[in-house]
Amino acid sequence: MPPRSACSRLGAAVRYLSGKRSSPTVKEIGIYETLPSNSRVFSMIQPTGRIHLGNYLGAVKSWRTLSSTNPESEFIFGIADLHALTVQRPAQQLRDFRYQAIASLLSSGLDADKCILYFQSAVPEHSELNWYLTCITSMGQLNRMAQWKSKAQQAQNSTILDDAVVEATKAGLFCYPALQVADILIYKSTHVPVGDDQAQHLELCRTIARLFNSTYAVDFFPIPETLLTPAKKILSLKNPEKKMSKSDPVQAGCVYVTDTPDEIRRKIRKATTDSVQGQWKFDPVQRPGVSNLINIISGLTDRAIGDVVADLDGLKDHKALKDHVAELIIDEFDEKRQLYDDLLQNKDYLDSVCRKGSDHAREIASANIQQVKHIIGLD
């Protein structure tokens, strides 16, 4: 039976809160307004473990909202298994992670009838376009990206030209933003919903799309807009200076969609806060731990930060705040966890969803790559 999930619980529509940022191509996803009709929305998630609260609030929840409220647009959501190869792991673990990723997406409420769900590696046109675009991308552009430095555990002011850095960095990790550009452009996507951490890669994507169009004097690739969710960045519960991340060695900082109520309560109870009791203020610089919890409430309840802070007035101390946050998360994830367990028992169903998605994705990608080959003279 195709599991239809808690999708209906979030009936909110989508609105752009424009004018908050200087770039007209970066917008925040809110509620109530709709995407322009015939938009093509694309995003991906890596199969590097179960989905956590940051992935959920920063990406997957908005994918679900967007795809359930914009029937005139097309939605393509992929499992980025080629990107997952930038960190080596046993083959069986990757197989398991791929299943866990697709089960997480479906249990988080994505409806396979309303969007294309597929594995990136099943559509080889991603890699083909990646090469064409890598050839017009400079090393300087890649060098300026922040993410490879964090992932290769290098300082943010480091450079690939440094002997020690170049030795310590795999070429795939350095070049993966170019593959990400190809992922987006192979479908001629118009909108890309992501968390704040990916905003810089989306800027690169627009630069490369423009560069390709101007190099070949065509108007082929649309310039995709970044859709930033209101809960742009969820931080580690243990170290609110860092984002919540699957690969964080301090796993107590990370709440997973599949955590049991007891695990959620334990992790939230131990979240780092501060010594100021009962005076609630959203101040990410002075009070990062408390602000992170406020941001989580805002993301879960679809309420503005100011309204959330006003509602906290009755809570007397951090324990009361943490209990409140834990119960909200448990309520949001309870059904999803059960559905996730059921889905993982039904791999045939998961295979059939991905097969259908890959066929559809490939149809679009292969038509576009033929046109790219014609534009660059490879036909």
Site for ligand AQP in 204-233 (CB under 6 A): 233
Cβ proximity to ligand AQP: between 98 and 372 the closer is 98
**Residue 324: CB minimum distance to ligand AQP, A:** 20
With contact defined as beta carbons under 8 Å apart, do 145 and 179 qualify?
no
Q: Give the H/E segment covering residue 320.
A: helix 318-344
**Residue 299: CB minimum distance to ligand AQP, A:** 9
* 58 is an interface residue for ligand AQP by CB under 6 A: yes
Residues sharing a CB contact under 8 Å with residue 19, sequence separation 6 or more, in sequence order: none
Which residue in the set 14, 66, 79, 80 belongs to the binding site for ligand AQP (CB under 6 A)?
Answer: 80
Question: Helix axis angle, 125-134 relative to 347-376, nearest 10°?
Answer: 40
* 358 is an interface residue for ligand AQP by CB under 6 A: no
Question: Is 151 among the catalytic positions?
Answer: yes
Which residue in the set 5, 39, 48, 69 belongs to the binding site for ligand AQP (CB under 6 A)?
Answer: 48
User: What are the tokens at 233?
Assistant: 């960045």
Question: Is 233 among the catalytic positions?
Answer: no
Which residue in the set 103, 112, 181, 244 belongs to the binding site for ligand AQP (CB under 6 A)?
Answer: 244
* 288 is an interface residue for ligand AQP by CB under 6 A: no
Between CA 216 and CA 176 the distance in angstroms is: 24
Q: What is the dihedral sign for C-alpha 274, 276, 279, 285?
A: negative
Q: Which among 27, 188, 243, 336 is annotated as catalytic?
A: 243
Mask of contacts with ligand AQP, 126-145, x by CB under 6 A? --------------------
User: What are the tokens at 155?
Assistant: 């300082």
Question: Helix axis angle, 288-301 relative to 318-344, nearest 10°?
Answer: 50
User: What are the tokens at 157?
Assistant: 């002011």
Task: Find the angle CA(152)-CA(158)-CA(159) to the nearest 5 degrees.
Answer: 95
Write down how long the chain is.
379
Question: Is 149 among the catalytic positions?
Answer: no
Which residue in the set 100, 198, 258, 295 belongs to the binding site for ligand AQP (CB under 6 A)?
Answer: 198
**Residue 80: CB minimum distance to ligand AQP, A:** 6
Question: What burial letters (b/e) apply to 142-169, b meaning 16+ CB within 10 Å?
Answer: beebeebbebbebeeebebeeeebeeeb
User: What are the tokens at 82?
Assistant: 């080629």
User: Count of residues binding ligand AQP (CB under 6 A)?
Assistant: 19
- Report the residue number whose CB is nearest to ligand AQP: 58
* 238 is an interface residue for ligand AQP by CB under 6 A: no
Task: Find the angle CA(300)-CA(302)-CA(303) to the nearest 5 degrees.
Answer: 110
Contact segment (CB under 6 A) with ligand AQP among 20-28, 112-120, 191-199, 339-347 equals 191-199
**Residue 92: CB minimum distance to ligand AQP, A:** 18
* 45 is an interface residue for ligand AQP by CB under 6 A: yes
* 46 is an interface residue for ligand AQP by CB under 6 A: yes
Q: Give the H/E segment covering residue 35.
A: none
Q: Which among 114, 246, 322, 336 is annotated as catalytic?
A: 246
Between CA 177 and CA 134 the distance in angstroms is: 10
The C-alpha torsion from 143 through 123 and 370 to 209, rounded to 10°, is -30
Residues forming the site for ligand AQP (CB under 6 A): 45-46, 48, 54-55, 58-59, 80, 194-195, 197-198, 233-234, 243-247
Residues with a catalytic annotation lie at: 151, 243, 246
